[in-house]
Amino acid sequence: MMAILGVAIVPMAHAQVETAAPEITARSVYMINADNGEVIYSKNPDDSSAMASTTKMMTALLVMENCPDLDSPVTISKRAVEVGESSVWLQEGETLTVRELLYGLLVQSGNDAAVALAEYQGGSVETFVEMMNQRAAELGLEQTHFTNPHGLDDPEHYSSARDLVVLGGELMKYPEIRKIVATTEMTIPWAGHPYGRTLVNHNHLLWQTPAVTGIKTGFTDEAGQCIVVSASDKGINLLVAYMGGQSLAQRDQEVMALLQYAFDSYRQQKVITKGKEYADIDIPFRRGEAMALVSDGDLVKQVYIRDEIEYRVVLPDEMNLPVYQGDKVGLVEAYEGDVYLGNAYLLATQDVLKPGWLGRINYLLDSVYHFQIGRASCRERV
């Protein structure tokens, strides 16, 4: 029978000096560890504002969730051609696949591709927008409302940095999407031309560092510079939403600073140390004696330097004898908040043999003696 004997919270071993957070001028920012949801940086995360083409993440998500064949053909409508602004130069009546339109949507950020996909998936733009808002509610995006599939400004079209991080994380569950948003440049067919359409990703950070793996940029006069970024380095996976930046150059510079700050916030640490004492346990039939228990090995993990490590010791209700030095007696478990990091066995540090009948009798007599002494002490105090 094993039980959690105790919980100890101690500072992280060898924690290094904390890096100062960068100064961010954007209207709102939200950055998390994508694996455990740990918030690394936050500025007005729940303020709703125009979201520009980051909208297209929801358009792509609904396509991925509802289209069984990305090679299905889509015929381009007049409405798609006439939407305006950012475009992949679709032509009325031409046919492209859903996959090709997804590249146009997420790489080139084509508003025409957004309308074409919305009409294909929803039957009409209006029905598709209803689907967008229903899915937003299902995902718990409380500060988000859609009026279109592309992100052109509308007073009733808005989101928050926190909501965009949730949406981005949901979209990146799809391998095909991860491939698309990491594409810097590609060509898709162009009807009536001897050459194809060259699509160039608006996410310039893809060229600046291999750590960046996606996801979607956006800009309108109302929204300012926006971007949702996924990034990975040394086992750390990040999601960042940046909204209301003042310029493209400043947006990219500040997001790069945020990513560096986040990656610097994690260290490879020895969270359990071989040979270190993490607990002791009472020795049966030896009043007042306990045995130290030490870890049988090291546990090294990437940990957040602003967190503390929590140790939970798991021991038997009673130590069964005999026990020899090096025997496994219990466990020490390491946690970072609610995140389980791993464990190590706790080993006995001495031999303890099973007592004979004489030793047991002596222990019982000693117990009776101490019990009587305790009773007498109680009577004196009364």
Q: Is the dihedral of CA 191, 193, 195, 199 positive or negative?
A: negative
> Residue 245 in contact with residue 225, Cβ under 8 Å?
yes
pTM of this structure: 0.79
Helix, strand, coil distribution of the chain in percent, nearest 5: 30, 30, 35
Q: Would you state the pLDDT for residue 306?
A: 81
Q: What is the pLDDT along the chain (382 residues), one digit of tens a residue?
A: 344 444 444 444 444 456 789 999 999 999 999 998 999 999 999 999 999 999 999 999 999 999 999 999 999 999 999 998 889 999 999 999 999 999 999 999 999 999 999 999 999 999 999 999 999 999 999 999 999 999 999 999 999 999 999 999 999 999 999 999 999 999 999 988 889 999 999 999 999 999 999 999 999 999 999 999 999 998 899 999 999 999 999 999 999 999 999 999 988 889 999 999 999 998 887 777 899 999 999 998 888 888 889 999 999 988 888 989 999 999 999 998 888 999 999 999 999 888 765 655 555 555 544 444 444 443 343 3
358 three-state secondary structure: helix
**Dmax (CA) of the chain:** 107
Q: Would you state the pLDDT for residue 356?
A: 60
Q: Would you state the pLDDT for residue 357?
A: 58
**CA nearest to 263, candidates 33, 36, 11, 38:** 33
Q: Would you state the pLDDT for residue 298?
A: 94
Q: Would you state the pLDDT for residue 2?
A: 46
CB atoms within 10 A of CB 162: 25
Going by the DSSP 8-state scheme, the letter that residue 359 receives in this structure is H
The tokens of 151 are what?
Answer: 């992100």
Q: Would you state the pLDDT for residue 358?
A: 61
The tokens of 155 are what?
Answer: 């007073």
Kindly provide the residue ranges of all beta strands, DSSP E only, lying in 131-181, ordered along the sequence: none
